[in-house]
Amino acid sequence: MINLLIVSTAPILIILAYIYYRDKYEKEPLSLLFEGLVAGGVIVLPIIYFERIIESWGSNLSPLGQAAWTAFLVAALVEEGLKFFAVYLLIWKNSNFNEKFDGIVYAVFVSLGFALVENISYVFKFDNGMQVGVMRAFTAVPAHAIFGIIMGYRLGLAKFIPSKRLKNLVLAFLIPFLFHGVYDFILMVNKDFLLIFFFGFVIFMYWYSKKRMAQMVDATVFNPDLINEE
């Protein structure tokens, strides 16, 4: 029991610590970060509710169509939509959201709050929970963090570049939604020949999120106007 709890929570705590460390200039209040983590966990309930409804609407599709429906409209749309809603409500008008990088910090905390509850439920649900936990530590958990980084990057731009606010708010949802949908779709199609593409896509996600995070660190610490046209 303790081992399963450790394997389901440790990857999330490690990533959260890393994101907190990367916030170089002004650390966010721990109380607000905890609220973000809790908010991510709380949205699991409405996510389950809406996913069940939308999933039933696609029950008559072909196997390929059902995979696309489930990946994009059930999982990606609902999960990234409610994450975006939770992050926006938590920080948009909060005075602590005073740097571009802050968007990444809060979005990742909300995203991994959801991943924490999801991870625990998966690990304790299956008989081979330890294997599931280890596998998810290198797949689903980092993926949710990456979706949070991408969302937070755009939220930071939206907050501090008023002239492009609407564009970046839309992209703060749209890009994580597309990444999440493609990620899930490849897995749900369950075709061996797509595994090569899947690994390539995962590597691209890591590269893309690392690049975005580095851009925000540079913009926050060294030159606040560094990112003004993206």
- pLDDT digits over 103-117, tens only? 999 999 999 999 999
Asked whether residue 227 is assigned to any structural domain, the reply reads no
46 in a structural domain: yes
162 in a domain, yes or no?
Answer: yes
**What whole-number percentage of the chain has pLDDT above 70?**
94
Output the CA torsion 177→132→203→142 (10° steps): 60
Q: What is the DSSP letter of 179?
A: H
- Residues 6 or more apart in contact with residue 133 via CB below 8 angstroms: 4, 7, 8, 119, 122, 123
Q: For the segment 24-56, what is each residue's pLDDT rounded down to a tens digit?
A: 888 999 999 999 999 999 999 999 999 999 999
CB burial class (10 A; 0-12, 13-18, 19+) of residue 45? exposed
Query: Which sign, positive or negative, has the C-alpha torsion 178, 45, 11, 122?
Result: negative
Mean pLDDT for 216-224 is: 62
* Euclidean distance between CA atoms 175 and 150, whole angstroms: 7
156 within some domain: yes
The answer, yes or no, to whether residue 200 has pLDDT greater than 70, is: yes
Q: Please count the structural domains in the chain.
A: 1
* pTM score: 0.93
Two tokens, residue 43 = 């949205």
Task: Answer whether residue 228 is part of any domain.
Answer: no
Conformation bin of residue 190: beta by default, left when phi > 0, alpha when psi is -120 to 50? left
Residue 226 lies in a domain: no
Say if 90 falls within a structural domain. yes
Q: Which domain holds residue 176?
A: 2-221
